[in-house]
Amino acid sequence: MATTALIIIDMQMDMQQRIEAGRDHVNPEAPARVADLASAFRRKGLPVLHIRHADESPASPLHPDAPGYRAMPCAENLENEPVFVKRTSSGFASTDLADYLRENGINDLVVTGAVAGFCVNSTVRAGSDLGFRMTVVRDAVLGFDMPSAHLSARSIFDVTMAHLESDFAKVVDAASLLAD
């Protein structure tokens, strides 16, 4: 039974649309890194799990009927890969992800996805609190600015990664995982 899984959080077309609209963001190579990591995990026979955000508001770009809800090409799940649909920031709070992981003997989670300061942050912290060993792949995580707070994507991303690394997760680059 596998003990390590790749988790891809919220790599949905809304993120691609933000990038294409020119939003300040970090890690433009993140989609390619996510695809590379998913391929590597699949080759090794390790689980690849997908978390997607669904918003109940029909006006939301993440409503299940909206174009922004679909997975980005880098994050499309294969038929045998579970997709956990969340309605909260954390991938644990509104899904049965923790039960699935425990039932399948998965203790180590390698986290990629979007958005660094929000859903990646809350999922990693919750996973750590639940006793899972968390690893965040720094260059496989998207981060965006917060114009209303006058915060750049880089400043939010750097502070988020520092917080996660200080107490919740190991933070690595994709190359170190792909070299194994």
Q: Retrieve residue 148's tokens.
A: 């209303």
Question: How far apart, in whole angstroms, are the C-alpha atoms of residue 13 and residue 1?
Answer: 33
Question: Any residues with CB less than 8 A from the CB of 22 and at least 6 apart, and which?
Answer: none
78-129: per-residue pLDDT in tens? 999 999 999 999 999 999 999 999 999 999 999 999 999 999 999 999 999 9
Per-residue pLDDT band at 136 (split at 50, 70, 90): very high
Q: Is the pLDDT of residue 1 over 60?
A: no
pLDDT of residue 180: 74
Domain 3-178 has CATH 3.40.50.850: yes
DSSP assignment string, 56-83:
S-TTSTTSTTSGGGSBPGGGPPPTTS-E
Which residue type is seen at 121?
N
CA-nearest of 105, 139, 104 to 120 is 139
Q: Residue for token digits 């194994």?
A: 180
**Three-state DSSP class for residue 114:** coil
Q: Retrieve residue 63's tokens.
A: 């409503």
Q: Is the pLDDT of residue 145 over 90?
A: yes
20-53: per-residue pLDDT in tens? 999 999 999 999 999 999 999 999 999 999 999 9
153-168: per-residue pLDDT in tens? 999 999 999 999 999 9
Per-residue pLDDT band at 2 (split at 50, 70, 90): low
Residue 61: count of CB within 10 angstroms of its CB? 16
